[in-house]
Amino acid sequence: MGAQQNPAGVLGNGKLATSEAARPGDTRSGTGTGTHPDTGTHPGTSTHPGTSTHPGTSGHEGAHEVFRRLTERPADLLRFATAGSVDDGKSTLIGRLLYDSKQVLSDQLAHVEQASERMGHDFLDLSLLTDGLRAEREQGITIDVAYRYFATAQRRFIIADTPGHEQYTRNMVTGASTADLAIVLVDARKGVVSQSKRHAFISSMLGIPHVVVCVNKMDLVDFDEQVFEGIVGEFDAFAARLEMPDVTFIPISALLGDNVVERSQAMPWYQGPPLLYHLEHVHIASDRNLIDVRFPVQYVIRPPASSVVDYRAYAGQMAGGVLREGDDVVVLPSGRHTRITGIDSFGSSLREAFPPMSVALRLADDIDVGRGSTIVRPQNQPTVSNGFECLMCWMSEHPLSRQRRYRVKHTTRSAMLGAIDVRYRIDVESLRRDEHVDTLEMNDLARVHLQLSAPLVFDSYRRNRVTGSLIVIDEASNETVAAGVILDTEVEEAPEAKSERSPNVRWQGTRMTRERRWRTLGNAGATLWFTGLPGAGKSTVAAAVEERLIEAGQPAFLLDGDNLRHGLNGDLGFDESARTENVRRTAHVALLLAESGTIALVSLVSPYAADRDAASVLHAADDLAFVEIFVDAPLELCEQRDPKGLYARARAGELEGLTGVGAPYEPPSTPDLVLGSDRETVEAEVERVMELLAARGLIRA
């Protein structure tokens, strides 16, 4: 944003002549809950530079190829949002993307030059291309969400330039809610700050499938590779605790243009593509859910009898799956079954419909279907319920009040909010929970339970971003006060996915909630997972920690691997699949103990990192603390100890598959605590474990 020098000699190049291009759209929402731009309009021509040496383009094109590339309109659309801390350079980056990809018209450039001069700059401030509000230009920050449109020969783009300040978190949620990709900017001088973590958490919460971390202002750290790698490691460590399936890191200088549109000559150590090339080629087609058919009905089309005889169709936008003529369907929430007899679009009939197409369906039977109904397949139905859990961002300046009436809007259906129970508020920097809250204020992120006056038809947000999201509206002011994403539901997983429960069963809930149980007992639950080679000392330390916790009044229980194989896991062998099942069963037992307010201490070799990660994810999905403790004793020391004679038997050929001798052990890459030094006593190791638990708020200090 507040750039300090002339970007790559821009002022010396004069005005940019791009008269053949259509003006990029610029739409700005009026509030933090504004609407998104209409994606159906776009420039009539693409303005990717004809002489570009950008990867994927040829430097020897004929006139016909150049004309075709500049006039053909790409069908593929990528929505992406930019986020970062204040002054990380979001608006400058977008301005650089537009400028270097020849998307800025001469009159726009002249206006920015004049504005730069009025502000006393001796350089062209590209951030002014998106910082359009007077308050933004005066303060040099982004306040509201600015939407910009541009296109290259490969793809069309809609950019949501979201604000970086914590005060405008709600604006980022609005701007990123429909994004296919998020760009998180990190200042190379400052590293990963609290706002970087907040934006990563929101990106994960909103289920954005692709995240690009742009380490900006590399020119101010002399393009140092070590600085870049340090930020990559720090961000990766935080992102490992979130659901972020695709994270890409790119070092850039938005001010100078390095690695934005063209490869940087100043960073030869970076072998990846520049940002624009990545945006043009990131694969998004598979991000759509084409398995679960979801068709929320928006409107019933029934023309006057004089124009079309007996025509009735149900209009809406496909939210998931593929519908074809002749398919058997069921209408929810009524549960009535029927069949599709036709699929109509504007001026024509279609054989099939898929997201995000807007179509009208004709049905075989005259049944009660109206706005708010959802058409699905009989064998693949979403949840129909008036109560569920969701993650919510409070967006109103007025805090949550039980005295006000709220309405929940979900797809095309609405219902009055009967009750809202705030489970906890989330500190996005530490990911810790504050359970001592009963209201929400602006920009708060929290897990809540909603009880509605009428049932909704929904999926979890992870499964479908359309049927898994909602907004909350104040009935008195008609203000959108909150946005939420629905958490995991009772919907059956796809057949190829392994189920973690028996068929035809439901979890039996009780009035005794976790918060109430822990508050009454005065204790919180957690799982401590001790891993290491056989003979490393896991059980010794874990047993000592158990004793120390119980003496301090904290319920604790040791789940020792050998003891579990005397009953629960007695039917398992020691091959790879059996070891995985051993960890899975143990993790579920530990989860139940932690839920009860007990600290479960698991002493298990658990040699495979993927199995330990699965145990961690299991706890994270239920918002329970999971602490991985690596007892890092070298193999030689373990063989010297050999308390059960296993190593001697393995070396003699009497025992096959012993971890460390006949089977591999994968040490944790980022454990929460490392023990096992032969120079440290058991008492000292116990003390370190207790200090870690106290620091994380799991026990009283």
pLDDT digit string (tens) for 455-471?
Answer: 999 998 888 889 999 99
Which has the closest alpha carbon to 463: 497, 427, 431?
A: 497
- How far is Cα 382 from Cα 83, in angstroms, rounded to an integer? 33
Please count the helices (runs of H) and the strands (runs of E) in the chain. Answer: 17, 28
**Domains plus CATH for the chain?**
7-16+75-287 (3.40.50.300), 295-304+311-376 (2.40.30.10), 388-486 (2.40.30.10), 514-695 (3.40.50.300)
Q: Which phi and psi angles does 610 have, rounded to 5°?
A: -65, -35
CA distances from 228 to 71, 139, 187, 271 (A): 39, 29, 10, 13
> Which residue type occupies 597?
G
**What pLDDT does residue 64 have?**
52
Query: pTM for this one?
Result: 0.55
Q: Which residues neighbour 604 within 8 Å (Cβ) at sequence distance 6 or greater?
A: 529, 530, 531, 538, 559, 561, 582, 583, 586
pLDDT < 70 regions, the chain: 1-75, 105-107, 116, 120-146, 164-169, 305-309, 489-509, 701
> Which residue type occupies 583?
V
Four-point Cα dihedral 544, 548, 551, 552, nearest 10: -160
**What pLDDT does residue 588 have?**
93
Tokens of 557: 């229980």
Which has the closest alpha carbon to 25: 128, 148, 153, 108?
A: 148
Q: Are 355 and 318 in contact (CB under 8 A)?
A: yes
Which has the closest alpha carbon to 482: 439, 515, 520, 539?
A: 439
Please identify which residue in the block is written with the tokens 């008492």: 683
Determine which one of 101, 177, 539, 606 is catalytic: 606
Which has the closest alpha carbon to 164: 93, 86, 82?
A: 86
Tokens of 582: 């051993």
Which has the closest alpha carbon to 578: 564, 592, 590?
A: 564
- Residue 606: active-site member: yes
- How far is Cα 424 from Cα 446, in angstroms, rounded to an integer? 6
**What pLDDT does residue 313 have?**
92
Strand pairing class (480-486; 383-394): antiparallel
**What pLDDT does residue 489 have?**
58
Tokens of 584: 């899975």
Q: Bridge partners of 340?
A: 363
Q: Are 629 and 545 in contact (CB under 8 A)?
A: no
